[in-house]
Chains A and B, each alone.
Chain A
């Protein structure tokens, strides 16, 4: 950091002018594709500028992770978060921070009328600082998007593992989509919970919606069957398509003594028979 830097002083003295220029420029260039109102733009610009002034006041103009920049960081995180949720693009979000350069540089130019070296030094300091702030806001933006993705994944996972009761003592677990370890865990847990809750002694695992069965998926299925058996419930695997039957045999997957059926209907009939029930026409 340059000790003769005029940057802190310039910002302190011209805060309202810079702000006015900045907002005018944002409105003129139609910043953020007109998704943000002028009042909001003004409010956000004012908050960011005053946070920057607060950070810069301490003389620290390079390290935005320092405690003196806490309020600027907080503001940027909040802003990026909101913009990510409102569907702003990353460019629009970063541009908001970056666009501070123009009004700030023109002020610096006025202050350093006859001092080219001082101007260059201050412009560099300011560029570095604003770039860092913009990158920080990008990171916050990205983080928010990732949180959304993680949440959706979880929701999808929960949505796609329903356990349904077909009859007294018979549960069905229609599996849809590919089966990985994380999903098997969720499937297994929800199935075992339901076995406990309903006191079912037969569970039908329907794999009609599972696109491929490789050795790993088969192992996951067998694990689920074994866990259910430990709790005292028998499992039937249904919905085995011809291709899947072929793959299972080609791969040499040993399904052991697990009952398998081609359709859920067949499996249901087997389950009823084991419980001593039959279906008859009324």
Chain B
């Protein structure tokens, strides 16, 4: 998707898969020099503390690599679980769906990297 990478998680995440994703994504960001990453988790029904932390980590890593990260389409049950686990993913931007997430990325890309919150 242009300068942005789009990751959709379609299956239930397990620990190995999450690590694999982290690996692949950082490789891809570095290889494509993407300026934004959008992770769509609308099909993710369940999270545990590990996956929650991985989401935060992945976002942090892409930020270090110079790409903005937006997590989109989080299910209510997932949001409640993360909050109850005390993982509010500070520093990760969120949007309701892919479309809004893209708009957010595009906007901050136009404003210059790490521009003010959308």
Interface on A for B, CB 8 Å cutoff?
185, 188-189, 192-193, 195-196, 199, 201, 223, 226-233
Contact = CB atoms under 8 A, between A and B. Distances in A.
A188 B101 CA distance: 23
Given A195-B96, A231-B94, A232-B100, A226 B88 contact: yes
Interface stretch (B26-34, B76-84, B105-113): B76-84
Nearest to A190: B76
30 contacts: A188-B80, A189-B80, A192-B80, A193-B76, A195-B96, A196-B75, A196-B76, A201-B96, A201-B100, A223-B83, A223-B84, A226-B83, A226-B88, A227-B76, A227-B79, A227-B80, A228-B79, A229-B88, A229-B94, A230-B71, A230-B79, A230-B89, A230-B94, A231-B79, A231-B94, A231-B96, A232-B72, A232-B95, A232-B100, A233-B96
A189 B81 CA distance: 11
Nearest to A234: B117
B25 interface: no
A231 B83 contact: no
B76 A192 contact: yes
Interface of B: 71-72, 74-76, 78-80, 82-84, 88-89, 94-97, 100-101
A219 B97 CA distance: 27
B91 to A, nearest CB: 12
Q: Would you call the interface of chain A mostly helix, strand, loop, or mixed?
A: helix
A199 B101 CA distance: 13
A185 B95 CA distance: 22
B82 A232 contact: no
Nearest to B104: A232
A192 B100 contact: no
Contacts of B71: 230
A188 B83 CA distance: 11
B83 A227 contact: yes
A1 to B, nearest CB: 56
A230 B97 contact: no
Nearest to B52: A230
Contacts of B78: 230
